[in-house]
Amino acid sequence: MKKFNMTMNLFYMLKRFYHDKKGVYAVMTALLAFPLLFLIAFAVDGSGILLDRARLAQATEQAALLLTTENNQYRADKSNLSNVQVTDEEIKNAKGSFRTAQEQKENAQALKRNQELVQGMVKLYLRSYDKEQKNSSPITIPKNFTAECKSQTDTRTNGESSSVACLVEGNVERRFWLPWSYTLTSNNRNTVDINSGKSYAVKEKDILTPIDLMLVNDLSYSMNKDPNGEFKGTSKIKSLRRVVAQIANTLIPETPAKNISPYNRIGLAPFGLGAQQAGKKDISQIKKCVLPFYGTDTEVKIKVWSGENKTTYDKLKNKVKLYKSNDYSDLLTSYEKNKYMYIKDSAVKLANLFLTEYIDNTIFLDKSKTRGNDPFVEVFYKYFNINSTLNKIKDFKGEDINYDINFDKSEFCFSNNRDSTVTDIWFNQKDAGKLTSVMEKTQPGGWTLSSSGLLVGANLMVNTNKDALPSKIRTNTQRIILVLSDGVDTALPTLTGELLDAGMCPKIREKLDSLQDKNYRQLPTKIAFVIFGYRQSAAQKASWERCVGKGNYFIADNEEQLLKAFKQIIGFEEEVGRSSSVTPKLFK
């Protein structure tokens, strides 16, 4: 009876609720509360989980790149690990076969350093802390990540290659923001595990490709100044010597490293206003400079300012053919009175004469003082043929060439090295000390014409290493021409730009690339240009960038920047690696 009464009372209450419609919103809210809370939890914590998982994947990808870059377990120089403190337990747990206790310790340091890199990157991306710390951070790292690297060296038909691949994977625990969000997971805890997934990075580097490096450096007077153009700081020549010594100790050391080819060579082809040839067959060439350009000798008529006291006239009157001319003055006016002397002679003869001895009013460093009359420039361009010069590049044989403009070293060209060679090929393995000694003895002195050094250096590059034939060592040689200048060209300030714009560099590359054996991987010739302590005009910069490519145009204002540029050019800035979306061969 009681049950019946309760049922009837409930029925009447529902009937009144139906008719009165009171409390409908309260009931609906109660019915929707759970779905709404679930939706809020999913929106807040669910989206947060997805975002943090994406961040974790990015973090482990970057961490894998860091591991390949440092390559702590397999790099030869482990000095970067000296500050990593490891316990006896960590050393004991280091796995692998070790010849010495030091090797085992270094391996433990490498593993710890790798873990520091990985966890540091994860913390950076996720704002996380170690599991021992009590704080409000929603992320903790419960245990070490997998941070594994493998390395191998492969022998290929075109040489040898060293590769390292690294794997990073691990979990983090993410705390829920809302207390009821644990219903989103099956573990009924207030945290959720987020796995990064496997991230791979790979770094490959050819290690035994021979390098022929030709250093075409400025040896003008201004190299005695510091990069600011003063005599206060370290001179540019001293900085260059130190940088070259470091490069030599890497390329041609006394004791070559395993990843350095024993067939590396370095050559020197500096420039002033002209360049010296190697003189391997004709030793007299070491006392001479050449302008390595072609043309046609012709008889020219020029005028030369005779000087206030006829000083120029006195030096030239017995060396050239003089004549009276009405080209510049009245026929009856003598050249002494008019202060001009008129010359009718061979263009090649006059060019060599003006370059052998400094004679006032025949050649100008400061073009504002020419009075509109520049005899050397005039006779040079009467002789010079740009097409002939460029077409002769294909005939380079790596030997001295009989150039028409060939003169004794002078104030314009290697004035402080008149009886000693400045151009030399080749410095081979174990010759680092010898190269350093030669550089120390070489003193700046002369004007500037960078294209002369580039052409002489390119010709010498054709002198190949018979011990490093591709058929013998299974790889071609990487040829690099490194041009360094510390100022604008003088005397012939537009000549280099004219040659560059006419295609000199592609022709040099074409000639040197013809030395490559097509049966092996092709290694295109690299030409790089470094300006040291000055800035070029927009037109000059554009010409050089077209020649070498923007990636091979460098500006250095101090010794540190100079060394960095040299290392980048030669390829000793280590590859940092690349991410891999597929499992590398080393992990299969």
Average confidence score pLDDT of the chain? 84
Q: Which residues pair with 195 in a beta bridge?
A: 171
Q: Work out the end-to-end distance of the chain between its first and last CA atoms, rounded to an integer number of angstroms.
A: 79
Q: Give Cβ neighbours of residue 47 (< 8 Å, ≥ 6 apart).
A: none
DSSP 571: T
pLDDT at residue number 333: 44
Per DSSP, the residues of 403-459 read -S-EEE-BTTB-GGGTTS---EEEE-TT-HHHHHHHHHH----B---HHHHHHHHHH
Supply the pLDDT for residue 367: 82
pLDDT of residue 331: 41
Q: What local confidence, expressed as pLDDT, does residue 10 receive?
A: 61
Q: Which of 26-35, 153-162, 317-326, 340-349 has the highest mean pLDDT?
A: 340-349
Residues comprising the chain, all counted: 588
> Looking at 72-76, 333-337, 503-507, which range is the least confident one?
333-337
Least Cα distance to 422 among 413, 412, 430 occurs for 413
What's the confidence (pLDDT) of residue 74? 83
The correct answer on CATH 3.40.50.410 for the domain covering 211-293+390-557 is yes
**Residue range 136-150: mean pLDDT, rounded:** 82
pLDDT number for residue 425: 93
Q: Output 359 or 499, whichever has higher pLDDT.
A: 499
With CA atoms as reference, report the closest residue to 444 among 470, 415, 479: 415
Give residue 159's pLDDT.
Answer: 47
Total H helices, total E strands in the chain: 18, 20
Domain ranges of the chain: 24-206, 211-293+390-557, 299-379
What is the tens place of the pLDDT at every residue in 11-68?
Answer: 666 666 655 555 555 555 655 555 655 555 555 555 667 777 888 889 899 989 998 8
Residue 6 has pLDDT above 90, yes or no: no
Number of neighbours of residue 71 by Cβ within 10 angstroms: 19
